[in-house]
Amino acid sequence: MESVSFPPLSRVAVCGGTHGNEMTGVYMVRHLQKEKIDKIGSVSVSTVLTNPRAVEICRRYVETDLNRCFTEALLNSPVTDSSPYELRRAQELNAQIGPKGSKEAMDLIIDIHNTTSNMGLCFIFYSIDWFTLHILKYLQSKMASVEVRAIQLDIPIAEAYSLESVGKHGFAIEAGPQPNGVVRADIHNMVKEAVDHIFSWLQEFNSGSTFEGGEVEAYTLVKSIDYPRNPVTGEITAAIHSQLQDNDFKLLQRGNPIFMSFSGETVKYDGEDLYPFFVNECAYYEKKIAFHLARKIKLTLPPIKVTG
């Protein structure tokens, strides 16, 4: 495959606290800010605590989920002092590390998240972005004891609703399982190692290295399944079945148990073979998602190098 060249990635934002109770990102950004890290080799680094009010009260959000506020429509909608805090904050962030779609936007935005699901280390992104995938491939080679996975949301950038869509390139790092409000050293250390490798990659890229092409597997979101609910009250009537719990990315096939009702009945999956993820994510109960389902795809990466 032909090599593709890109300008250097010299302005990078590392973000945490987009959900105020996902602690790895919060502590990572705080630590970088305490150490006054604003440059790593050729890369200038902005560190941003994106939702400080939510961080202060250790809640996912104050009024509305910040990480759903970054569509073009919401970023351009008129806001007043009485608009929800996160809508206003999204527009502030867009001015700071965007604007989305413009040439002033950060070259790369990395947004650090945690999940209560057993997802290990995942990169979540929108478009098939050679950078994200090359970084992922690099991490997979450097972090042999950790399974690093790619999750693609097939949504056009204008409709992309999360923070990392503001940059020219961007991805969310999702690390779990970790409860809300808790910082686990093993999860923190895994993410720290990943971020260190990402900065090594960026410097190698900027200094002219060619990164060989290859294949990476990715999971692309197909649909979501909600909990069984009482049709009148809307209350959930079953829990994720113990055979699905903690088995993110293990192939789910027709007939496999997915829920155990409170009265002891097993609910079985009835659909095509797909891969579950975000299984029993705390924040998704209110979004009516028990788990997501994905198809596995193979992506072929061209070799890439910096222009010049």
Partner 1 sequence: MSSYNNTARFSEARRVAIFGGTHGNEMSGVTLVNLWTKNGTEIQRKGVEAVPFITNPKAVEKCTRYVDTDLNRAFTPENLSAPGGNDLPYEVLRAQEINRIFGPKGSPEAYDVIFDLHNTTSNMGCTLILESSKDHFNLQMMNYIKKSMAPASCLVLMNEHPLLKYSTSRSVAKHPVGLEVGPQPQGVLRSNIFEAMRVILKHALDFIELFNEGVEFPPCTVEVFRVLEWIDYPRDANGNIIAMVHPNLQDCDWEPLNPGDPMFQTFDGKTIHYQGSGTVYPTFINEAAYYEKQQAFITTRRETLVASAIIKA
DSSP secondary structure letter of residue 228: P
Is 100 one of the binding residues for partner 1 (CB under 8 A)? no
Is 91 one of the binding residues for partner 1 (CB under 8 A)? no
Q: From the CB of 282, what's the least distance to partner 1, in Å? A: 4
- Using CA atoms, how far apart are residues 74 and 170, in angstroms rounded to an integer? 19
The answer to whether 212 is a known ligand-binding residue is no
- Using CA atoms, how far apart are residues 298 and 146, in angstroms rounded to an integer? 20
Pairing verdict, β 214-225 and 148-152: parallel
| Cβ proximity of 206 and 10 under 8 Å | yes
Q: By rule CB under 8 A, what string of x and - marks binding of each residue 47-76 to partner 1?
A: -----------xx-----------------
CA 73 vs. chain centroid, Å, equals: 21
Q: Which residue number, 6 or 27, has a Cβ lying nearer to partner 1?
A: 27
Q: Which residue number, 192 or 296, has a Cβ lying nearer to partner 1?
A: 192
Residues in the interface with partner 1 (CB under 8 A) total 32
Cα separation of the two ends of the chain:
20
- Using CA atoms, how far apart are residues 255 and 105, in angstroms rounded to an integer? 47
3-state secondary structure (DSSP) of residue 202: helix
Instruction: Pick from 4, 95, 158, 182 the residue near partner 1 by CB under 8 A.
Output: 182
Is 158 one of the binding residues for partner 1 (CB under 8 A)? no
Active-site amino acid positions: 174
Q: Which residues bind partner 1 (CB under 8 A)?
A: 27-28, 30-31, 58-59, 116, 177-186, 188-189, 235-236, 239-242, 245, 260, 262, 280, 282-283, 285
